[in-house]
Amino acid sequence: MEDLLRRIQYEGDQAAFREFYLSQAPQLLNFAFVYIKSKFIAEEVVNDVFMNLWRSRQRIHEIANLRVYLYVGVRNGISSYFSRNKDWQHVDIDTVSEASLDFTADPEQQLITAELRQRIEGAVAALPPKCRIIFKMVKEDGLKYREVAEILNLSVKTVENQLTIAIRKISAEIFLCTGDPRKTGYLSKL
């Protein structure tokens, strides 16, 4: 990563920037989509953040935590979008993705796995918005509690508490599906 950033900053290397973009954009797009519910607009917000980063690439070394910088940029872009479009809501049905299945030789196991994933996805979708966002940022995007707290302007303790709530609710859903409290360890794979 350091080499990519050096090439971007000092050499203006577009290929390095493209590689950096491809490594960071998917998580940022998911983050934006949680708020905006439109793939097109989420892409626009994220691309604006990367365009601004490219324009100011000579100052990349001044950014203490580039990952947090990108998330905060997306958060600010989302706020700006909502302030410009207060009455407009859009849901892009093309962004609904099917759960990927584990392919095993046992069709019954495939069915159980698919049902379990659907229940987990449903439990995540049913979480309160702040709780869901924090869960996704920590478990799916791999951000640290401190980074999430900084991005969302929350205390680290609030992030911990919200994640605990999310895991309890999702674990309860897994228990309902499997009847086995040991299966709640499935969350560690998320």
Q: How many percent of the chain have pLDDT more than 70?
A: 75
pLDDT value of position 13: 84
pLDDT over threshold 70, residue 163: yes
* Domains with residue ranges and CATH for the chain: 2-84 (1.10.1740), 104-189 (1.10.10.10)
Q: What does the H/E/C string look like for 27-56?
A: HHHHHHHHHHCCHHHHHHHHHHHHHHHHHC
pLDDT over threshold 60, residue 168: yes
Top pLDDT among 117 and 82 is at 82
pLDDT over threshold 60, residue 52: yes
At a CB cut-off of 8 Å and minimum separation 6, what does 112 contact?
none
State the average pLDDT over residues 173-179: 66
pLDDT value of position 86: 66
Top pLDDT among 102 and 19 is at 19
pLDDT value of position 122: 82
Task: Give dist(CA 59, CA 62) in Å, integer.
Answer: 5
pLDDT over threshold 60, residue 26: yes
pLDDT over threshold 60, residue 87: no
